[in-house]
Amino acid sequence: MAKPKFGTHFSNVISGDTTHKIADYTLVKDDDYGVQFTSDIEGVAFTLPALSANPDGAIFKIMNTAEDGSNDLTINPDANDGINYKSSATDNKDLINTKSTSKKGDFVVITNDAGAGYWVVTSIRGIWAKEAA
């Protein structure tokens, strides 16, 4: 699959490939670009690869497939990176789909903006919280 350019709408770059995870998983440079990851297991964490090792525009989609209110998902940036969500970014802080507010089908699409120094949320469904600073 060709690597997307930053700013491209996710529906044009998420490949349609879906991978279900039942344990914590570190997203892999090159292999996982454009793949939709799902989990219906309580407490699974997805760790993003380092921004510096990925091209601008690297994109991932992570979806909660558990029944409503039964699962939380966590997205961890690399320790040197951050996630920009709701117009702010904090280094080394997670983005969490909390169990109490989770709905089946909640998702986040996240794209590398290495020039700005963080991953940016480009599309989202559901209630996601930023880890406290």
pLDDT tens figures, 3-21: 434 343 333 356 677 888 9
Confidence check: pLDDT of 115 > 60: yes
**pLDDT (tens digit, 9 = 90+) per residue, 58-83?**
889 999 999 999 999 999 998 888 89
Please give the pLDDT value at position 2.
42
Burial of 49 (0-12, 13-18, 19+ CB in 10 A): buried
Joined tokens for residue 5: 């350019």
Nearest in space to 111 (alpha carbons), one of 11, 6, 39, 23:
6
How would residue 118 be classed by pLDDT, with cut points 50, 70 and 90?
A: confident
Q: Does 41 or 2 have the greater pLDDT score?
A: 41
Four-way CATH pick for 10-130: 2.60.120, 1.10.357, 1.10.3470, 1.10.10 = 2.60.120
Confidence check: pLDDT of 37 > 60: yes
Q: How far is Cα 90 from Cα 93, in angstroms, rounded to an integer? A: 6
Domain boundaries, the chain: 10-130
**pLDDT (tens digit, 9 = 90+) per residue, 81-97?**
889 998 887 788 999 99
Q: Does 48 or 54 have the greater pLDDT score?
A: 48
User: CB of 93 within 8 A of CB of 100?
Assistant: no
